[in-house]
Chains A and B, each alone.
Chain A
Amino acid sequence: MVEKPAGWGYAKDSAIMPSLTVQIPPMPPGAATPAQPSTPAQAAPASAQTALPSNAEQR
């Protein structure tokens, strides 16, 4: 059992059980890593980045 760190958590701040600590069980194994945020640079296709300026403008 993993005891919740002091100073964090709902029970300590809650009106429900201000003086009682919840014993948190460990998270089940096998959790996937959270998805990566998609940044504008990553979201844009590589072709879009290299397409500027266009050949027409260069001429």
Chain B
Amino acid sequence: MSETSTNPHRQQQLYWAQLFELKVDAAYIRCYRDHLGRWTTGLGTVRAIASSGGIAGWAVWHEYAFAWGTIIAASQVVDALKDVFPFTKKHKAASAHTITLGSLFIDAQLEWENIFSGRYTDEEITKRCHKLKKLQHDAEATSFPDGLADRKPLFAQAQQEAKDYFRATYGVE
């Protein structure tokens, strides 16, 4: 007999794996949102300085003409690239997706408690696991229809956060 047919906890384990992956995804998208947020703030600052004070500063402090010219040029580059690297748009999408996954994880945790305590049959667990995956997939497809970048340092950070959370909450290593 295969392990699949002899392991009475197989469906629970599959749901558990999905729960953990959801936590990693939720942590990842939060890290990604923060990463994009820093870029958005930085680029917005450059544009604001250039648009509001660049010309005036250049006129008043002639000795810093090169610096002001650089700021204005950088601002123009940022404007030119905003369609190529839509940081603001992605930041908004990541913010919305962070909230969605966070809420989904809270619901999945509640469901997990019922699964862990044996209240559901294998068939019900399979259906709920499928629904969880579908919700996760649909949420991502809505927020990032063009795909979501995988950044290994952020992923490593997200996985570590998920491990820490599961260790503290469920006592697993």
Contacts of B144 in A (CB 8 A): 15
Q: State in angstroms the CA–CA spacing of A56 and B29 once bound together.
A: 70
Residues on A with beta carbons closer than 8 Å to the beta carbon of B11: 34
B155 touching A20, Cβ below 8 Å: yes
Whether the Cβ atoms of A10 and B159 lie closer than 8 Å is: no
Q: How far is the CB of B15 from chain A (nearest CB, A)?
A: 9
Residues of chain A contacted by B24 (CB below 8 angstroms): 11, 22
With contacts defined as CB atoms under 8 Å apart, how many contacts are there between chain A and chain B in the complex?
Answer: 92
User: B22 to nearest A CB, angstroms?
Assistant: 8
Q: Does A33 contact B (CB under 8 A)?
A: yes
What A residues does B62 contact at CB under 8 A? none
What is the interface size of chain B, counting residues whose CB is below 8 A from a CB of the partner? Answer: 44
* CB of B88 closer than 8 Å to a CB of A: no
Cα A25 to Cα B12 with chains together (Å): 13
Contact A17–B155 (Cβ < 8 Å): yes
Question: Which positions 111-126 of chain B face chain A at CB distance < 8 Å?
Answer: 115-125
| Residues in B lying within 8 Å of A, measured CB to CB | 8-9, 11-13, 16-18, 20-21, 24-25, 28-29, 115-125, 133, 136-137, 140-141, 144, 147-148, 150, 152, 155, 159, 163, 166-167, 170-173
